[in-house]
C-alpha cells in the first residue's frame, strides 16, 4: 500500500517518470543537483538545486525528471513542518551534514530552510490550490466559472496529478480528519462533522483507506509523530 523511502542519496536519470505513490511517514527531499517536477497532495512544484520538498505522512505524489537529478532524503518523524516547499541556505553544507549525521540534519532542517512560494501557472494548479483551501468546493461550479467542460476538467487534472479532482478533493478532506485525530481530543463523530463527512462511519472508511488503519486504532497506536 505504501512506498518505501530510501533515506540518503538518490540519483535519477533524465526522462524518468515515477507513478503516483504514497508514503506512510514524513520525510524531506533536498535537491542537490538538477531538478524535477512533483505533483502531489500539496500541489505541483518545480524544484531545482537548493530546493526542499517537505512531505507529510500519508501524502501522495508523482514525479517527472526532465533532467538528471540527485536528491537527499531525510526522515522527519516527530518534526513539525509548516510548509511544503522551501530552500536551503547552503545546500552543500547541508548535504555534508546529512551524510555525517542524518538525525542532526533532520533536526536542524527547519533552521536551515526559507519558505518558497509555489507558482500556479495552469488551471490544474489553481484547482488544486482551491481544493486544498476548500475541500467542499463544487467541481461543476468551478468548471463553469473557468469555462471548462467537466470531462476536460477531470482528464486535464488527472494528467498532472495522477488522480481525478474528485479523488484529490476526498483525500484533502481525509487528511484534515487525520490531522484533527492527531492534534485534538475531539470525539470521532465531531471530527467527522467538522471535516465534511456524512457521518463517523463515512470518515472511518476514508481514513482506513488512506492510512491502512481506522481512526480509533491510529489514536491508540500513538501515531502523532507520523504526521509531521
Per-residue confidence of the chain (228 residues) as pLDDT tens digits? 788 777 889 999 999 999 999 998 889 999 999 999 999 999 999 999 999 998 988 999 999 999 999 999 988 876 666 668 888 888 888 888 888 888 888 877 777 666 666 666 899 999 999 999 999 999 999 999 999 999 999 999 999 999 999 999 999 999 999 999 988 999 999 999 999 999 999 999 999 999 999 998 888 775 554 444
CATH architecture, range 8-115: Sandwich (2.60)
CA distance 188 to 200: 6
Q: Which fold has domain 123-227?
A: Arc Repressor Mutant, subunit A (1.10.10)
**The model's pTM:** 0.90
- Read off the pLDDT of residues 120-136 as tens digits, 9 standing for 90 and up: 689 999 999 999 999 99
Pairing of strands 85-88, 17-22: unpaired
Q: Three-class SS of residue 179? A: helix
194 torsion bin: left (phi>0), alpha (psi -120 to 50), beta (else): alpha
- Of 46, 47, 30, whose CA–CA distance to 95 is shortest? 30
Question: What residue segments make up the domains of the chain, in order of their start?
Answer: 8-115, 123-227
Sheet holding 60-64, edge to edge: 17-22, 60-64, 35-40, 43-48
**What angle is formed at CA 23 by the lines to CA 19 and CA 29, rounded to 5 degrees?**
85
- Of 57, 69, 63, whose CA–CA distance to 27 is shortest? 57
Q: What is the DSSP letter of 227?
A: G
Amino acid at each position: 500500500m505504501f512506498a518505501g523511502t530510501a533515506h540518503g542519496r538518490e540519483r535519477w536519470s533524465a526522462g524518468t517518470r515515477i507513478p503516483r505513490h504514497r508514503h506512510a511517514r514524513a520525510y524531506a527531499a533536498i535537491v542537490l543537483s538538477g531538478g524535477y517536477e512533483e505533483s502531489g497532495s500539496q500541489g505541483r512544484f518545480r524544484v531545482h538545486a537548493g530546493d526542499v520538498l517537505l512531505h507529510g505522512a500519508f501524502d501522495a505524489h508523482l514525479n517527472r525528471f526532465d533532467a538528471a537529478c540527485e536528491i537527499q532524503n531525510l526522515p522527519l518523524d516527530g518534526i513539525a513542518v509548516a510548509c511544503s516547499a522551501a530552500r536551503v541556505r547552503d545546500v552543500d553544507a547541508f548535504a555534508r551534514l546529512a551524510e555525517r549525521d542524518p538525525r542532526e540534519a533532520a533536526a536542524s532542517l527547519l533552521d536551515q530552510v526559507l519558505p518558497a512560494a509555489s507558482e500556479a501557472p495552469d488551471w490544474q494548479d489553481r484547482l488544486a490550490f482551491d481544493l486544498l483551501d476548500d475541500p467542499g468546493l463544487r467541481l461543476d461550479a468551478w468548471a463553469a466559472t473557468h469555462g471548462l467542460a467537466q470531462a476536460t476538467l477531470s482528464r486535464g487534472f488527472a494528467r498532472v496529478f495522477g488522480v481525478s479532482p474528485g479523488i484529490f478533493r476526498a483525500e484533502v478532506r481525509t487528511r484534515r480528519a487525520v490531522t484533527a485525530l492527531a492534534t485534538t481530543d475531539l470525539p470521532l463523530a465531531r471530527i467527522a462533522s467538522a471535516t465534511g463527512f456524512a457521518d463517523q462511519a463515512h470518515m472511518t472508511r476514508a481514513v482506513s483507506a488512506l492510512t491502512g488503519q481506522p481512526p480509533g486504532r491510529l489514536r491508540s497506536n500513538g501515531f502523532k509523530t507520523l504526521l509531521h
